[in-house]
Structure formats: C-alpha cells, structure tokens
Amino acid sequence: MNRLRNLDIKYLKGIGPKRAELLGKQLGIKSYRDLLYHFPTRYLDRSSIYRVKDLSGEMPMIQLKGRFIAMTVQGEGAKTRLVGVFTDGTGTMEVVWFRRIKQIRESYHTGNEYIIFGKPELFNNRWSMVHPEVDTPASTTAAQGLRGVYPLTETLRNQGIGARQIFTWVQTALAASPVITETLPRSIIERLKLMSLRESLINIHNPQSNEKLQAARLRLKFEELFYIQLNIQRYSRRRNAQLTGFRFPRIGQYFNTFYSQQMPFELTGAQKRVIKEIRADMGTGKQMNRLLQGDVGSGKTLVALLCMLIALDNGTQACLMAPTEILATQHYETISSMVAPIGINVKLLTGSTRKKERDIIHSQLTDGSLHILIGTHAVIEDNVQFKNLGFVVIDEQHRFGVAQRARLWQKNMVVPHVLVMTATPIPRTLAMTIYGDLSVSVIDELPPGRKPVTTLLRYDNNRMAVYQALGKQLKQGRQAYIVYPLIQENEKLDLKCLEEGYEMIRETFRDYKVCYVHGKMKPAEKEHQMMLFATNQAQILVATTVIEVGVNVPNASTMIIENAERFGLSQLHQLRGRVGRGADQSYCILMTHQKIQKETRQRLEIMTSTTDGFVIAEADLKMRGPGDMEGTMQSGIAFDLHIANLATDGQIVQLARDAADDTLDKDPELALPENSILRSELLQQASKSVDWSRIS
Ligand code: ADP
Ligand code: MG
C-alpha cells in the first residue's frame, strides 16, 4: 500500500495533470491509494440482461443487449440530438444523446452488438433511454456483478467526470497495481478470517457477489477502526506509564465535616458508587482522567463537590469550570452556600469579575488561601496561577474545545486529576472512539421522587390550547421556560422571532412577569434577567438555548420549545432537563409547524416516547451521524471515517479494540517482524491523523 500512496494519480491512464488537480480539490484524491479508498456509496446491478419486451413502469437502471439499426441527428441549435434506434430482437427502443454528439456518433456503429445501460423511460408511448452507458460485450470495463456508484461533486459532473468514469479509473488503478501490500498482520487476518486487502478492494468496487461485498466491507471497516484503536491504545498506555499524578490517600476534615453537617440529602446509590470509583483513581498515584456521565438532574454537582473536598483534604486546591456565566454563577452560589459555613474559601471568576475582586482572587490563589475556584473559561487565562491545583472539574464538557481543556492542566508541575462531566450521554461506540483513554463513570439513577416529564408534540394551530394549559400551571404558582432557536447563520431572523414571541407572551400573560435572555446580551443584563427568574420575581423566561445546560430552577414545571424541529435530539433532551427538577409533574411541549416532514415527526416522537438520555443519544447518532454529534466537532478527531459507521458498527469497533489491545499486550512497541506492517502504516497515517495526545 505504501507504494500506492506515493503514486500520483496524474500518472493513471486517462487522468493527466488537469483532472488530477480537479480530483484532488474536489474529492481529496491525490494518489492511487486515495482513489482505491474512495468507496462507492451504492451499487448498480449489472448481473442481468433485460429484454425490451419485458420493460415496464418504474424500472431502475438496467442493461440490454442488442444493436443500433439507425442513428440520426435530429433538431437544430440547442435542440440538436442524436437518436439511435436500438433493438434486441424482442422490440425496439430509442436511445437519445444531447451532448458529445459527434464523438458518440463516431464511436458506435450500426450493426455491431452493444450492451447499453441506463434507465428506460416511456416517452410518447415508446421506450427510450437518455445518455446510456454503451459497452461492447467484450469490453473489459463492461463489468459484471455489482458496480460501484461514487459520491461526486457538481463541479466534477460539469467537467464530465461521472461515477462511471471513476469506476473505470478504479479498475485501471487495480489492474496497474499488481502488488497491493497487505495492511494488517497475517495473524489478525487469519484469526478473524478477514478478506485480504487486494480482494477487498476489488470487491468493494466491483463485487462479484453480495457475500463477497459483505466480506470486503467488514475487512475495510475493521482496518479503519483498528488503526484508530491502535493509536488510542498506544497513546493511553504510554501516558499511563509516564504520567504520575497526585496521590490523595486521605479523607479528612473538610470531607467529613461536610458529610456530617452540610449534606442536603442522602446520596443516591449511583452517586455513592461513582464517588468510590473516583476516589479509587485518585489514590493510585496515576493522573486521573475520568468522564462522568449522568443524565440531566442526576446530581453530578454534588459528586463533583465531594471529590473536590477530598482534594482539599490532601492539601491541594480545586477548580470547577463551566461553559457559561449563568452556569458558573449558579454553581458558585450552590457550592459556596454549602461549604462556606465550614470555612472553605470559594470564589467566582468570570469575564465580568471586576479588577479589584480579580486581584484578590489572583493573590489568594497563589498564596493558597483560596480553596475552590469556580468560573468560566476565564479560569484558564495565563495570569490565573494556582499554588497547588490538584483537581479540576469541567462541567458540560462538550462546550469546551480540546485545546482549552488542555490549558487547564498545564497549570501545575504535577498534572491535576481531571473530572469531565456531561449530561449528553455519549453512546458507547462513540465514547470508545473519541475518548478511548478516558475512564467512564455513569450515574444511572435519578434522585428519588422525580416524576418523568410529560412530553407532547403540538402544532402552531394548537397554540391557544397550549397557552391555556400553561396558564393553569402559572396559576398554581409554577414557572415556565419558552425557548426559541437561535442559530448563527440565521441570527437576525431568529432574534426577530424571539422578540416577537416575547411580546406575544407578555400580551397573553399580563398577570405575570416575563423575563428575557439571549446570548447576545451583556453578561450583567443576562444575569439580572436570570436572577429574576431564579427568585420567582419573573414567572416566565423567554430564552434561546443559553439556558440549555445546567440551569436549576426546581419550581419551573413547563418547558415550551418553539420550532422544535430545528433542534437536535440531544439538545431537546438537555432543554427538557430544565424542568422536572421538583416533586411536581412537569411538561415539555415541542411546538412545530403543521407541515413537518415524516422523518421530522418521527424524530420528535422519540422525544415524546422516552426520557432515557442514552436511548435519545443513540437515536441521534443513528439519524445525524457522528459528525454532527455534539462533542465530536471539538473532540479533535476529524471524523473522516471512509467506511465504518460508529452508529451501526459497534461490534466491529469492539472487535478492533480487542485486536488492538491484544496486539499491544504481546508487542507494546510493535517491534516484532510480523508487526512491521503496523509500524509503517502508523507512520504513513501519522501525517494525516489527529494529535492523539490532545484528546482527553
Ligand atoms: P446535573 O447532574 O444535571 O448537574 P444537579 O447536580 O444540578 O444535576 O442536580 C439536580 C438537582 O438534584 C439539584 O437540585 C440537586 O440539589 C438535586 N440532588 C442532587 N443529588 C440529590 C440526591 N441525592 N437526592 C436528592 N436531590 C439531589
Ligand atoms: Mg449540571
């Protein structure tokens, strides 16, 4: 394969420098290997030959075998066309070309036998085919079996490069590459009974049978996932071997006093288990890197706090970073009210912290008198220096870029333990691929007494009924959120909807106070509006998704989401999580236009049928693909899987992971001769691949 990587595509027969440049720009195809790894997205069946007399209604692309009995140019100017009369002895049909007339006329001759391939259409009661592919029966490219159809771009099509052309080039490349070196060690191929690379490449483009196609796909998916796993595992093994972390053997005064005097409620079983897992990690002397997943409302904050207290008990400081100012402020208020009474110094640092307060924070951090710092990304500024930072909590991690996170653990000689918390459950296969070296803890239990949120799908013409129901809730003293989409590309229009919605709500609910938050507001104004809602001075909060993560107002019982179809499922789940935090029944109403597509309705119906965040995340992944999943964009992995699909290939991910583990167990440095393939492949891939050291 290495040689194919270095073979420039411009040398392939029929391509040349100009088309090579086009292929490189449009499809990223630069070498023979790139071309061979440009896989079809579907296949045409060229295994059977139809007869004209059997043609019927809606047929797909089919092939016929016969002769042209006449070829004439008809029409003038823009309407000029070449019309051939084609017969196979069972009937005749018209074959029409509108372009490249001269060239076609010269290439195909009446009387000779051809195989034509295209979509038959009934036109004026007569069968016809427009721009079919034409082959002589003996032609080598008149491939039998299934034939690949390739993803293309409009520009390529306009330049006359179609799927057929790509197929031909692939066949030429295969024929011109007698040696396709295997990219997997023999032992793995034999043990897993995988198809060889050469056979797989032949069969992925031009499958000789369906079974062979499946075997080829399995092999190529495995290869792709295996190298990802090998990279992740190699990196995490190396890191585990090198990185020493703080050892926190003690549970001391802070933890114990808090536990006996300040605990607001009994921990759930899941919270206890997770705290144990984290404690065990922190006692090993290795740096902890742990992902804490727990559905919205599962009580991650308390877990984080208890772990921070362990860090304090062992003589270090702790820091909690949240993605928004609102959230950071809320964490600060909750946490400081719980721990200030037992003599713990907590401070809040955000973009709007005043210089005077900021100076105090800086000096207390460096002299060690500040125990817990809570804040937004302001905490990763270079001038924020700790005396001894031992534990970092990152809330709602998907909002932070990898680089931002990395800056936090550069603040110490010893890398602090890191706990990353998320309420967006990441499906297992995805977690294994993105966060291969993170340990994962899951809070899979909600605090007692919660009632699942009732979710309803309602259309714009039900709005009055929805408002009536909302009125009832308000009358009972409850509060409500009304959320509008706000997307950057559409910002102006969206803001207008939001403002109009706000006015309408104020008109409709004159007896109540309505407040208003969106991401474009000044932080101080935002905070003021949020405060009005949190203290029940306002009963309705009209907002964009700035309230999506973390905000906690247990008295709110209704969440209305406008234009729900414009949100992703995981996002809807997050939003819904803002209600149902108290003991009362809560409601989430998804509003859409009457005329939504069937798929859209099905998608939204997942929300109305389950409150299980994992089910929703899996469905989201299946429907949108991993590229769109929150978290993957910033994860640092360019999600350019060619053939494997993380949503559906979970088993192959597992297989690849096991094989990678096994390989590294036996040969950690990949020094054995049989693994030389792996070494050189990794080297070749290195230039393209992600910097694995930055993923955590
Ligand atoms: P999330 O996991 O979404 O961040 P929070 O930490 O905000 O959830 O907790 C949600 C709510 O549940 C908070 O009001 C919190 O005080 C409460 N809570 C957390 N743990 C428990 C518990 N063990 N029992 C009862 N309520 C709890
Ligand atoms: Mg939270």
28 contacts: CB under 8 Å, gap ≥ 6? 34
Interacting residues of 160 by C-beta distance below 8 A, sequence separation 6+: none
The predicted structure's pLDDT at residue 140 = 45
pLDDT score, position 631 = 41
Distance 376 CA to ligand 2 centre (A): 14
* 440 three-state secondary structure: strand
Q: For ligand 1, what atom is nearest to the CA of residue 581?
A: 11
Judge whether residue 689 has pLDDT over 70.
Answer: no
Closest C-alpha residue for ligand 1 atom 16: 299
Average pLDDT for the chain: 85
Indicate if ligand 1 lies below 6 Å from the C-beta of 447.
yes
Q: Which residue has the higher pLDDT, 334 or 691?
A: 334
Q: How far apart are CA 582 and CA 87, in angstroms?
A: 76
Q: Name the residue with the closest Cα to ligand 1, atom 4.
A: 300
Question: What pLDDT sits at residue 404?
Answer: 56
8 CA → ligand 1 middle, Å: 59
89-107 residue pLDDT tens = 999 999 999 888 888 888 8
For the chain, the structural domain boundaries read 48-143, 182-242+649-696, 253-443, 454-610
CA of 664 to the centre of ligand 2 (A): 38
Residue 553 tokens read as 């107002």
β-sheet bridge partners, residue 459: 592
pLDDT in tens, 496-540: 788 888 999 999 999 999 998 887 888 788 878 888 998 899 999
* Amino acid identity at 325: E
Could you tell me if the CB of 302 is within 6 A of ligand 1?
yes
**444 CA distance to ligand 1 middle (Å):** 13
Q: Is the CB of 301 under 6 A from ligand 1?
A: yes
Binning pLDDT at 50, 70 and 90, where does residue 338 land?
A: very high
Domain 253-443 is classified in which CATH homologous superfamily?
A: P-loop containing nucleotide triphosphate hydrolases (3.40.50.300)
User: Residue range 48-57: average pLDDT?
Assistant: 84
Residue 272 token pair: 């206890």
Q: What is the token pair recorded at 131?
A: 């721009």
Q: For position 636, what pLDDT does the model report?
A: 36
Number of Cα atoms under 13 Å in the Cβ half of residue 599: 6
Residue nearest to atom 18 of ligand 1 (CA): 299
Question: What whole-number distance in Å separates Cα of residue 406 and Cα of residue 693?
Answer: 10
Q: How many C-beta atoms surround the C-beta of residue 536 within 10 A?
A: 14
C-alpha 548/C-alpha 552 separation (Å) is: 10
- The per-residue pLDDT for 660 is 93
The structure tokens listed for 37 are 């790894």
Tell which atom from ligand 1 comes closest to the C-alpha of 267.
Answer: 23
**338 CB under 6 A from ligand 1?**
no
| Nearby residues of 163 by Cβ (< 8 Å), 6 or more positions away | 40, 148, 149, 150, 152
pLDDT of residue 626 exceeding 80: no
pLDDT, one tens digit per residue, over 170-191 is 999 999 877 788 999 999 999 9
| Residue 296 near ligand 1, beta carbon < 6 Å | yes
Torsion of the alpha carbons at 536, 541, 547 and 549, rounded to the nearest 10: 50
* Six token digits for residue 130: 């427009």
Binned at pLDDT 50, 70 and 90, residue 155 comes out as: confident
Cα–Cα distance between 74 and 83 in angstroms, integer? 7
Q: Tens digits of per-residue pLDDT, 62-78?
A: 889 999 999 999 988 88
Measured CA to CA, the distance from residue 300 to residue 613 in angstroms comes to 15
CA 94 – ligand 1 centroid, Å? 72
Least confident stretch, 202-216, 304-318, 647-661: 647-661
pLDDT category of residue 59 using cuts at 50, 70 and 90: confident
Lowest mean per-residue pLDDT among 277-281, 291-295, 646-650: 646-650
Global confidence as pTM: 0.65
Please give the distance, rounded to the nearest whole angstrom, from the Cα atom of residue 34 to the centre of ligand 1.
51
Find out whether the beta carbon of 11 lies less than 6 Å from any atom of ligand 1.
no
Say if residue 410's pLDDT is above 70.
no
* Candidate from 415-424, 467-476, 683-692 with smallest mean pLDDT: 683-692
Same fold, 48-143 and 253-443: no
Residue 666 pLDDT exceeds 80: yes
pLDDT of residue 548: 57
Reply yes or no on whether the pLDDT at 43 is more than 70. Answer: yes
Reported as type and span, the H/E element at residue 481 is: strand 479-483
Of the ranges 118-122, 210-214, 398-402, which one carries the lowest mean pLDDT score? 398-402
Determine if ligand 1 sits within 6 Å of the CB of residue 423.
yes
CATH of domain 48-143: 2.40.50.140
Question: In terms of CATH architecture, what is 454-610?
Answer: 3-Layer(aba) Sandwich (3.40)
Higher pLDDT, 486 or 298: 298
pLDDT at res. 403: 52
Q: Cβ distance 395 to 327 under 8 Å?
A: yes
Residue 257: predicted pLDDT: 96
Q: CB within 8 A of 138, min separation 6: which ones?
A: none
Burial state string for 271-285 with b = 16 or more CB within 10 A and e = fewer than 16: bebbbebbbebbbee
Pocket probe mutation, ligand 1, options 292, 302, 399, 586, max atoms within 8 Å of Cβ: 302
Q: Is 299 in the pocket of ligand 1 (CB under 6 A)?
A: yes
Q: Is residue 627 over pLDDT 90? A: no
Residue 142: its pLDDT value, please? 47
Q: Quick one: how many helices (H) and strands (E) in the chain?
A: 24, 23
Q: Which two tokens stand for residue 106?
A: 């010269």
